[in-house]
Amino acid sequence: MGTTPTEAAQIVTLLRQGLSQRVVVRQLKISQSCVSKVYKRFRETGGFIPRPRSGRRRCTSNRDDRFITTTSLRNRHLTGVDVQN
């Protein structure tokens, strides 16, 4: 589970106030590696928003999606396998 932008802002604020990573870890009850990674990401990017990830590639196009939607709405009794064929 990652940190929220609010938690990341708290971490950076406390570190910028001069607190050590150990003190921040105890105050916020999170791991030291989490504090280290958040602060490193902030120094590199200047922000708290997580970087976008690649994710899984799409198997269907927008046209296929529209076809699947209209077919299933017109024939509500069809199963997913029937729509696929």
Please write the tens of the pLDDT for every residue from 26-73.
999 999 999 999 999 999 888 877 777 788 888 999 999 999 999 999
Nearest to residue 49, comparing CAs of 13, 17, 2, 15? 2
Alpha helices (runs of H) in 1-85, residue ranges in sequence order: 5-16, 21-28, 32-45, 62-74, 80-84
- pTM, full prediction: 0.58
- On whether the CB atoms of residues 45 and 21 are closer than 8 A, the answer is no
What are the tens digits of pLDDT across the range 4-35?
A: 888 999 999 999 999 999 999 999 999 999 99
